[in-house]
Chains A and B, each alone.
Chain A
């Protein structure tokens, strides 16, 4: 935040107007990223300071850029499964997304999954156990329950985001976010896990419940929906 930089007074700083999470502006736009990087590095050549300069341009787009037109996906994108328990719907949803996720890896040459060491169906199974009366405390020895849930939830979300974002068309950050939290079984599972964590006496669960599982924007949107007020975005 510019206000934080102004308070800290570092020797040289470039403030940029981009969304949190995108300090170099936009994904998949090398020319724009280069401009931002060079603008920051050129501050090194200033003779006097401190310097706090504003990058002059907005990000050219808010989405991920155009998906490749030659993509062939074997299945249509699934709507939320409607039957069964929440855990069963989660498992079915994860299974349906697999084809799209494989397409994403093929096109991008990478995935950001791998922190847990679990495959998505295993993550779903672990998280679903927390919807029952017999939750698995952790998926690996030496990790507290709250930490294990945090890593698993974030990885599940990454799986969904990567699968969704490779669909044809342009996908804005807010669109993917709203789809995940409002239209998927996974979003419902994470909300349910937060409720469980809030009731737990395990210290590792408190931070999860209060701060590190559900974005503030989601709680705002849910609150607005319950109160019938316009949803802030």
Chain B
């Protein structure tokens, strides 16, 4: 998202500094699967989204866990408690789908371009560094997705 050249100097520097903190993986897993029209798709956001009554995200441990978003949740029930203030939120405030396109996913299922939408989607808050701290919760989430028969996951960064 966004080009580095489109950011201000300090924002650009901040983003570039993070490259060195990113993990390098020894393996390159590659999995093939059925055609998209037969896939069951879940969306995982890093936008700090959750149901209104759920725990807010925050620094430390409160920020590393995921929140569950039921697939049939009304948009009116979704709020954002990401700790960063350096990205636009007016788009989300106006239309959830610009961050978490559940309506668009349902339409693709309706049009048979996607096999099915998962029963649950999820959100992390993508502000914790180094990102390796998310691994235990990410592995836990992978088990939940498998149990939901999900065979395609879209990670949507914010």
Question: Is A47 among interface residues, defined by CB-CB distance under 8 A?
Answer: yes
Residues of A within 8 A of B (CB): 1-4, 7-11, 15-28, 30, 33-34, 36-38, 40-42, 44-45, 47-50, 64-65, 108-115, 147, 150-151, 154, 157-158, 161-162, 165, 171, 173, 176-177, 207, 211-217, 220, 232-233
**With contact pairs A33-B97, A42-B36, A115-B79 given, residues A173 and B88 touching in the complex (Cβ less than 8 Å):** yes
A-B CB proximity, top 4 nearest: A21-B88, A27-B95, A20-B87, A110-B76
**With contact pairs A8-B23, A65-B94, A108-B94 given, residues A40 and B154 touching in the complex (Cβ less than 8 Å):** yes
Assess the A21–B85 pair: CB atoms within 8 A.
no
8 Å CB interface, B82-135 against A: 83-99, 101, 103-105, 107-108, 113-114
Give the distance in Å from the alpha carbon of A221 to the alpha carbon of B3 in the complex.
21
Q: How large is the interface on B (under 10, 10 to 19, 20 to 34, 35 or more residues)?
A: 35 or more
Of the listed residues B16, B28, B89, B91, the one surrounded by the most CB atoms of chain A closer than 10 A to its CB is B91
Assess the B87–A30 pair: CB atoms within 8 A.
no
Assess the A37–B101 pair: CB atoms within 8 A.
yes
Assess the B3–A17 pair: CB atoms within 8 A.
yes
**With contact pairs A9-B28, A38-B113, A114-B79 given, residues A22 and B36 touching in the complex (Cβ less than 8 Å):** no
- Nearest-neighbour CB distance to chain B for A146, whole angstroms, equals 9
Residues of B within 8 A of A (CB): 1-4, 6, 8-11, 14-16, 18-19, 22-25, 28-33, 35-36, 39, 41, 47, 52, 56, 58-59, 74-76, 78-81, 83-99, 101, 103-105, 107-108, 113-114, 152, 154-158
Give which listed residue, A34, A177, A207, A217, contacts B107 with CB less than 8 A: A34
**With contact pairs A1-B4, A4-B22 given, residues A22 and B32 touching in the complex (Cβ less than 8 Å):** no
- Nearest-neighbour CB distance to chain A for B64, whole angstroms, equals 15
| Residues of A contacting B81 in the complex (Cβ-Cβ under 8 angstroms) | 115, 151, 154
Assess the A33–B101 pair: CB atoms within 8 A.
yes
Give the distance in Å from the alpha carbon of A18 to the alpha carbon of B78 in the complex.
22
| Residues of A contacting B104 in the complex (Cβ-Cβ under 8 angstroms) | 24, 30, 33-34, 37
Give the distance in Å from the alpha carbon of A49 to the alpha carbon of B68 in the complex.
30
| Residues of B contacting A9 in the complex (Cβ-Cβ under 8 angstroms) | 25, 28
- Nearest-neighbour CB distance to chain A for B93, whole angstroms, equals 5
Assess the A176–B90 pair: CB atoms within 8 A.
yes
| Residues of A contacting B2 in the complex (Cβ-Cβ under 8 angstroms) | 1, 17-20
Give the distance in Å from the alpha carbon of A37 to the alpha carbon of B152 in the complex.
13
Give the distance in Å from the alpha carbon of A45 to the alpha carbon of B37 in the complex.
10
